[in-house]
Structure 1
Amino acid sequence: MTSIWIVRHGTTDKNLDYYMIGQTDSSLGNIGRSQATAVAVRLRETPFKVIYSSPLSRAKETAEAVSEENMYHPTVIFHEDLQEIHLGEFEDVSSFAAYEQHRELMDKALAPSLDDFSFPGGELRSTAAVRFQNVILSVASSHPHDEICIVSHGAVIGSWLASVYGKPLGAFRQYQPSHASISKVQVSLQSILQNQNDERKQEVHGKGQSVHVTIEIFDDTSHLQPSK
């Protein structure tokens, strides 16, 4: 069984200004750098074998902070399939402007019951969820007994988790973790579905394999809380 710690990147200034960033490259802001340091300190003693990260700067910088702080000095490997969902014509667009000019489309984009969606010229959520899932499968296959860290993005993580729970992908926001949060899943490759009534234990499929996912931690931000 592989232990996969999933970290969402720290905050960027574009996030604070409510831009829809998608795959537009954007570095961490001052808050994001502090968040990256905090999550790195939190995970300092976790014996990571390797860190897999989206190559986008905000994730790259977060992953490198975790690697530098970690006492096991894991290598960071960049994987394009961990990038955020591509938003097509809505890349790097203010969400306020998008709502003003395309309210009907934006309402559709955020409808939790919608099974799938893409912005014009953009990537389907289902496509993004499958590519993220394929990384999970590859990691579980390559590291069957290791602790692994993945640094990625909110919407693609949320879409994958919605698929794990068997929910419409429109519900991705319910499963989208906070910036610089920590989630943890236990993953094992298998062919028989177990514990079908446990919502946190699901079987999903990809590349001819089945993967059993147990979600142990979701959206933990305790390391970001101000000290009292």
Structure 2
Amino acid sequence: MTTTLYLVRHGETYENHDHIFQGVLDTKLTPKGLAQTEGLGRYFKAIPIDKAYTSPLSRARMTAEGALTYHPEIKAEIVDDLHEIEGGELQGLDFDTCNQRFNNIMVTFRKNPSAFDPPGGESLPQVYRRFTKAVNTLVRQNLGKTILIAAHGTVIQTWINYAWGRSEDQIKLAFLPNGSVSKFTFDDELNVKIDYLGDVSYMDTQAE
């Protein structure tokens, strides 16, 4: 019995475009981001989906809705623990300002992610524990099914590290594109396999 997970990063926001730390700010999709949600609908048109879940943030909810365009019987359920990293005092600041005010904190984020701990926010190990627990809970609730989760760049990175077998103190980052799809499958013992990461092939296809 195989359980399948499609993990989707939300479409592009203005903050993504402008290199601003979003965290749990409820930001809006750009026109490109909206086009990505439409493309995701085509991507998943022929893929059977049994259940769908989303972060409570609107950029993820809109992405989930787009991905489910051709599955009107499926409504994405909001799961609070799928939200993006709580960025504390970094939220709303561009990356250069984050570095200037907080001792090159974005350099730490890139080069030593497990040490990243924004003032007033969540450390990356805390995010790792929260998000991997949430995803594994949803997988256990849907054994033998195919589920879709719409979430965010940083939290998805923690899940990928988990799937690679890296612990919370060994996190490495390789961010996936906005609107990208990653596929994972689980065996009967819930061992996770990475099928592919960061697929954006639909962006090169034309709408039918």
What is the TM-score normalised by the length of structure 2?
A: 0.90
Please state how far the C-alpha of 1:169 moved relative to its aligned partner.
4.7
Aligned to 1:9: 10
Shift of 1:134: 1.6
Asked if the contact 2:108–2:115 (Cα under 8 Å) also holds between the matched residues in 1, the reply is: no
- What is aligned with 2:195? 216
- Return the offset for 1:133: 1.3
- Please give the residue correspondences for 1:140-151 in structure 2 after superposition, counting only pairs within 5 Å: 140-151=139-150
Conservation of the 8 A alpha-carbon contact between 1:84 and 1:152: yes
**Cα distance in structure 2, aligned partners of 1:13 and 1:91:** 14
Gaps of 5+ in 1: 191-210
Instruction: Letter of the 1:213 partner, please give it.
Output: V
Q: RMSD over aligned Cα, in angstroms?
A: 1.8
- Structure 2 residue matching 1:218: 3-state secondary structure: strand
Alignment of 1:106-185 (within 5 A): 106-112=106-112, 114-167=113-166, 168-172=169-173, 174=174, 176-185=175-184
- Counterpart AA for 2:105: L
Which one has a larger percent strand, Structure 1 or Structure 2?
A: 1
Residue of structure 2 in register with 1:54 after alignment: 55
Q: Deviations over 1:77-131 (max 9, x none)?
A: 001111101111101111122233334333222214x534211111021221122
Q: What TM-score do the two structures reach when normalised by structure 1?
A: 0.82
Call closer, same or farther: CA 1:169–1:31 in 2, change over 3 Å: farther
Return the offset for 1:189: 5.5
SS of the residue aligned with 1:75?
coil
What is the Cα deviation at residue 135 of structure 1? 2.1
User: Percent of aligned pairs with the same residue?
Assistant: 26
Q: 1:34 to 1:169 in 2, by over 3 A?
A: farther
Q: Kindly tell me the number of residue pairs found equivalent between the two proteins.
A: 203
Q: Can you give the 5+ residue segments of structure 2 that lack an aligned partner in the other structure?
A: none
